[in-house]
Structure formats: C-alpha cells, structure tokens
Amino acid sequence: MMDIGFDYDDTLVEHAVPFYEIVGELLGRKLVIGKQWLYPHFKKDERELTDQLWRFNWYMNGCTRPKVYTKETLAYLKSEGHKVHIITARHHSLKEQTKEAIDRFFPGIVSSVSFIDGPEKVAHLKQMNIRIWVDDNPHTCADAYVSGIRTIVIDKPYNRNLTPSIERVYIPSELHIRLMETIHAEKRERQRRKIREKDSKVV
C-alpha cells in the first residue's frame, strides 16, 4: 500500500473554458498562457481579473470536469489498496465547495483533501509520507523530486524546462500506465533498501 498524492486543477480536472479565454473576453483582448509559470507576461488588469476568477465558485467548481480516465485510474489505485490524496493550492474560501465537487467526481475514492500552497506543500507531502506525487506545477514537481518523492509531471508548456529525470505524462490516458510503472519501481527500490539494510546488519 502506498500514499499517492495528486494536485487537483489541470491534473485531475480541467475547466470547460480556459480561464485566459474568459479573462480575455471580459477585457476585450486575446490572451495566451505562454511558457512561464503563473504568466508573468500578464498585464496588471489581466492578473487581477485572473486572481478574482480563481476565487469564484461558479468557475472553479461549476465549470470543471474530470479529465479523461482520471476517475478510472483513481478507482483502480484504491482497489489495489493504495490511498489517494488530493493536495490543492485553491483558495480556502472554496474549501467546502471543492470537497463537494471531489465527492461528486470521485465518490468514495479520495482519502483526504488538503488546501496548501507554496513551499509548505512539499513539506506536507513528506509529512503525509506521500510516495508518488502527480502535478503540473514546475516548482512543486522540482521540489518534490529533489526531496526524494517519486514525481510525475502533467505536460504543460510552462513545465517543459524540468529535468527529464522526472516522469512526464503527455495525454490523460498515459497517467494510468505511468503510475503503474512508478509504483512498481518504488516497490523494487524499497525491496533493494531492505536487502541492503539486512546485509549491513549481517556485516
């Protein structure tokens, strides 16, 4: 049994309409997300409207849907005895509505939901003994990987500068395969560690 952690937005769920299309339409201009995390090229009004949109329940929960195969993948993990945890950077004002959406999308599957952002996120992963982490955030993925947590990154333009040593998923149907490979690799590594520890005690 392993504790496996997932980011939520753009990892397990997607928005029916991308936020930058809504912001662009409201401001009367066309926006693109670019290749940098958190869109530093956005103008002040674009940034402010984006931040507001990300706190609106009608958008964050009313316009989201599970990505293809995610429910089946999470259900399989649970059937194999693994625990599924969601750790999201969503604003705390959306806490109850987000939990309700998760219960609706993934009924009876998710063991815990945490609302944590920034550097504290990886510390929380370690505290929960998360063995495998799945995310699209390049900073969290890099920190988790350096911390010794097996990491799978959901491919996005803004995370393609990450080390190729981190497993990468390009399409939703790949996630199940990558998780199975990573789980087996983690099991083998744990077995090797036990053998080394046993041999060191004999010596």
* pTM, two decimal places: 0.90
Distance in angstroms (rounded) separating the CA atoms of residues 46 and 133: 31
pLDDT at 186 exceeding the cut of 60: yes
* Other Cβ atoms closer than 10 A to 110: 19
pLDDT at 203 exceeding the cut of 60: no
Task: Give the per-residue pLDDT at 202.
Answer: 62
% the chain with pLDDT above 70: 98
Task: Give the class (CATH, top level) of 3-13+67-202.
Answer: alpha beta
The pair of structure tokens assigned to 86 is 């969601």
Indicate the domain borders of the chain.
Answer: 3-13+67-202, 15-60
Distance in angstroms (rounded) separating the CA atoms of residues 86 and 147: 19
For residues 189-202, average pLDDT: 75
- Reference 183, options 162, 154, 139, 152; nearest CA is 152
pLDDT tens, residue by residue, 118-131: 789 999 999 999 99
Task: Give the per-residue pLDDT at 144.
Answer: 96
Task: Give the per-residue pLDDT at 187.
Answer: 80
pLDDT tens, residue by residue, 54-105: 999 999 999 999 999 999 999 999 999 999 999 999 999 999 999 999 999 9
